[in-house]
């Protein structure tokens, strides 16, 4: 019995030893690990190359699936992993300049590169990243759930005409698509934010993502940043990886509804006409604008279309757009709300409110537009009022036109009388000017008609009444025409003065006041 127990003990120990010998961690895999370069520029990639007879083994695959990427991801963005011959090549983009020394993991099944890597500044392209520049905590948080976390890149290029575009990350270690992770794309057909470089002027590009909906206690989380891609005429492309953002994500305050938008919001309405026809369909428009707030998170206002039972609310149309600029994400929702009013008299539309949680101030933001009051009348009465108002408008416009023409004729008369002082024949100049004015100042008077001064005076006094000033200049006109040559200058000078005195008695707008 004792011998049997000893045999069982030795058998169990042997099986445990055999299991340990065949396990992947029992020996170091024959894998050579190194960087493809010893020095690179910012914007250039380096390859982590893994070669050796065990790279294609099952033991390597098991060790690869358990690899701790934290030391690599501390310094690099893992762009891709591909097979290179019988080995593997991991394409890495550095986050920062300086020397990169990975920790010594000689005892690990898959060692990291042991040689240092030097990352130098790119003399042709400088990129300065800022994480959430509008946040108080900046790159370290804290942030709120569903807040838009944005990266801002300030660029400084050495030459003009390079194309710079910012992209969401889509690396080899990402389990979900960028859209599934909350990255926000512009709505415009032009696509992602793009600029052309201008040497010495600099530029800015922004892109960001919505943080996950954190419903429990605050947690410290890490978020991968975007990529900046530069293309120039020499077909030399660079890719700059933004450093990850690591900070505390807080849940929203418990008193807020779960659907509250996170960002800044503004509301504007376009008013309806003050006079409406009962039963006709009208469109009431609202414009919701958001800052650092996705367009699909802008609130719906359909539940607020309530109030007066006389108002029939139809299905609203919503057009949502968003874009990225230097200040971040700007969104807009244009809401067109059709309605009919089945009542007469004054009707008050409902007050529209919009709320959002501002993550910068940590406060609830509220904006509203008070409901306006419109008058609703039967359709035939509305169109009658519109017709009357149209006729009244035409009459007012006609009167204004008549006044303007009369004013122009009056000013032209005064100007021509001043010129008559230097004219060779003042009598002809004055008579021509008065006839031109009479076309607008005297009814049924035709400019240039063959009429004597006495006939003109008769027509003038029929409409204006007795006028000593008009009689005086008509008398001087006859004296100027028929005076002897040695007395002509004196007579014509008197004509000019008396005619100017007469013109000052005319209404300033040149319209003759009819005699009662």
Length of the chain: 516
* pLDDT band at residue 14 using 50, 70 and 90 as cut-offs: very low
Residue 13 has pLDDT above 50, yes or no: no
Lowest mean pLDDT among 39-43, 80-84, 424-428: 424-428
* pLDDT band at residue 22 using 50, 70 and 90 as cut-offs: very low
Determine the pLDDT at residue 235. 64
Average pLDDT over residues 26-48: 85
Whether residues 133 and 245 share a domain: the answer is: yes
Whether residues 115 and 131 share a domain: the answer is: no
Q: Locate tokens 């696509």: which residue? A: 191
Judge contact between 16 and 8, C-beta under 8 A: no
Average pLDDT over residues 20-45: 74
Lowest mean pLDDT among 9-23, 173-187, 258-272, 474-488: 9-23
Domain end call among 71, 105, 120: 120
Distance CA 368, CA 86 (A): 66
Q: Of 56, 48, 49, 54, nearest to 72 (Cα)?
A: 48
76-86 tens-digit pLDDT: 999 999 988 88
Determine the pLDDT at residue 141. 76
Q: Using CB atoms within 10 Å of the CB of residue 144, give its burial: 0 to 12 exposed, 13 to 18 middle, 19+ buried.
A: buried
Question: 207 lies in which domain range?
Answer: 125-250
Whether residues 133 and 230 share a domain: the answer is: yes
Determine the pLDDT at residue 107. 61
Whether residues 290 and 354 share a domain: the answer is: yes
Residue 18 has pLDDT above 50, yes or no: no
Distance CA 339, CA 333 (A): 19
Does residue 65 fall inside a structural domain?
Answer: yes
Does residue 258 fall inside a structural domain?
Answer: no
Whether residues 415 and 494 share a domain: the answer is: yes
Distance CA 53, CA 55 (A): 6
Decide which of 307 and 203 is more confident. 203
Contacts (Cβ under 8 Å, ≥6 apart) of 100:
75, 76, 94, 116, 117, 118, 119
Model pTM greater than 0.75? Answer: no
What is the Cβ-side half-sphere exposure of residue 238, based on CA atoms within 13 angstroms?
25
Whether residues 112 and 76 share a domain: the answer is: yes
Whether residues 222 and 303 share a domain: the answer is: no
Does residue 14 fall inside a structural domain?
Answer: no
Supply the DSSP symbol for 335: E
Q: Is 176 helix (H, G, I), strand (E, B) or coil?
A: coil
Q: Which domain CATH number covers 286?
A: 2.60.40
* pLDDT band at residue 99 using 50, 70 and 90 as cut-offs: very high
What is the Cβ-side half-sphere exposure of residue 407, based on CA atoms within 13 angstroms?
7
Distance CA 295, CA 293 (A): 6
Lowest mean pLDDT among 46-50, 238-242, 266-270, 401-405: 401-405
Mean pLDDT estimate for the chain: 83
Whether residues 55 and 81 share a domain: the answer is: yes
Domain end call among 219, 250, 281: 250
Whether residues 137 and 73 share a domain: the answer is: no
Q: Which two tokens stand for residue 160?
A: 């003009």
Is beta strand 143-144 parallel, antiparallel or unpaired with respect to 245-250? parallel
Residue 11 has pLDDT above 70, yes or no: no
Determine the pLDDT at residue 138. 67
Q: Structurally, how many domains does the chain consist of?
A: 4
* pLDDT band at residue 3 using 50, 70 and 90 as cut-offs: very low
* pLDDT band at residue 16 using 50, 70 and 90 as cut-offs: very low
Residue 70 has pLDDT above 80, yes or no: yes
* pLDDT band at residue 358 using 50, 70 and 90 as cut-offs: very high
Q: Which two tokens stand for residue 498?
A: 């008396």
Whether residues 308 and 197 share a domain: the answer is: no
Q: Which two tokens stand for residue 447?
A: 């400019």
Whether residues 151 and 193 share a domain: the answer is: yes
Does residue 389 fall inside a structural domain?
Answer: no
- Most confident listed range (9-13, 18-22, 369-373): 369-373
Does residue 105 fall inside a structural domain?
Answer: yes
Determine the pLDDT at residue 385. 77
Domain end call among 120, 148, 167: 120
Residue 512 has pLDDT above 50, yes or no: no
Q: Locate tokens 């933001």: which residue? A: 365
Whether residues 133 and 115 share a domain: the answer is: no
159-180 tens-digit pLDDT: 888 899 999 998 888 888 899 9
Determine the pLDDT at residue 355. 93
Cis peptide before 142 (omega within 30 of 0): yes
Does residue 322 fall inside a structural domain?
Answer: yes
Residue 424 has pLDDT above 80, yes or no: no
Determine the pLDDT at residue 277. 87
Q: Is 403 helix (H, G, I), strand (E, B) or coil?
A: helix
* pLDDT band at residue 442 using 50, 70 and 90 as cut-offs: confident
Determine the pLDDT at residue 137. 67
Average pLDDT over residues 52-81: 89
Does residue 513 fall inside a structural domain?
Answer: no
* pLDDT band at residue 150 using 50, 70 and 90 as cut-offs: very high
Judge contact between 245 and 149, C-beta under 8 A: yes
Residue 450 has pLDDT above 70, yes or no: no
Does residue 87 fall inside a structural domain?
Answer: yes
């Amino acid at each position: 019995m004792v011998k049997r127990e000893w045999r069982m003990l030795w058998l169990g120990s042997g099986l445990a030893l055999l299991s340990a010998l065949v396990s992947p961690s029992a020996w170091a895999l024959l894998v050579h690990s190194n960087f493809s370069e010893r020095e690179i520029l910012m914007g250039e990639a380096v390859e982590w190359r893994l070669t050796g007879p065990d790279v294609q083994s099952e033991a390597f695959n098991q060790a690869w699936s358990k690899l701790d990427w934290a030391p690599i991801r501390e310094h690099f963005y893992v762009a891709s992993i591909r097979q290179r011959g019988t080995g593997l090549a991991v394409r890495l983009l550095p986050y920062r300049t300086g020397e990169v020394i990975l920790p010594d993991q000689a005892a690990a099944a898959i060692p990291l590169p042991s040689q240092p890597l030097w990352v130098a500044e790119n003399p042709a392209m400088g990129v300065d990243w800022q994480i959430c520049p509008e946040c108080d905590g900046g790159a370290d948080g804290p942030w709120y759930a569903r807040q838009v976390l944005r990266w801002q890149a300030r660029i400084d290029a050495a030459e003009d005409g390079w194309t710079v575009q910012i992209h969401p990350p889509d690396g080899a270690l990402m389990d979900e698509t960028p859209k599934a992770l909350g990255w926000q794309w512009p709505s415009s057909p032009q696509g992602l934010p793009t600029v052309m470089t201008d040497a010495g002027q600099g530029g800015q590009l922004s892109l960001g993502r919505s943080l996950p909906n954190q419903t429990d206690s605050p947690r410290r989380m890490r978020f991968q940043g975007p990529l900046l891609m530069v293309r120039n005429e020499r077909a030399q492309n660079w890719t700059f990886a933004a450093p990850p953002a690591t900070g505390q994500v807080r849940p929203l305050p418990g008193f807020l509804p779960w659907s509250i938008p996170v960002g800044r919001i503004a509301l504007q309405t376009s008013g309806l006409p003050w006079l409406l026809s009962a039963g006709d369909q009208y469109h009431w428009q609202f414009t919701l604008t958001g800052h650092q707030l996705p367009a699909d998170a802008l609130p719906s206002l359909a539940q607020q279309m309530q109030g007066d039972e006389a108002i029939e609310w139809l299905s609203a149309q919503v057009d949502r757009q968003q874009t990225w600029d230097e200040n971040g994400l700007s969104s807009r929702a244009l809401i067109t709300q059709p309605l009919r009013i089945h009542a007469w008299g004054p009707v008050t539309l409902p007050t529209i409110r919009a709320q959002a949680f501002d993550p910068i101030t940590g406060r609830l933001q509220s904006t509203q537009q008070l409901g306006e009051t419109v008058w609703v009348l039967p359709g035939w009465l509305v169109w009658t009022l519109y017709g009357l108002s149209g006729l009244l408008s035409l009459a007012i416009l006609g009167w204004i036109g008549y006044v303007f023409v009369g004013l122009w004729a009056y000013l032209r008369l005064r100007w021509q009388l001043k010129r008559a002082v230097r004219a060779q024949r003042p009598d002809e100049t004055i008579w021509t000017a008065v006839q031109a004015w009479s076309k607008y100042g005297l009814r049924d008077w035709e400019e240039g008609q063959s009429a004597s001064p006495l006939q003109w005076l008769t027509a003038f006094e029929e409409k204006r009444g007795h006028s000593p000033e008009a009689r005086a200049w008509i008398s001087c006109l006859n004296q100027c025409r028929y005076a002897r040559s040695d007395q002509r200058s004196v007579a014509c000078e008197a004509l000019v003065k008396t005619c100017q005195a007469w013109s000052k008695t005319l209404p300033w707008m040149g319209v003759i006041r009819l005699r009662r």
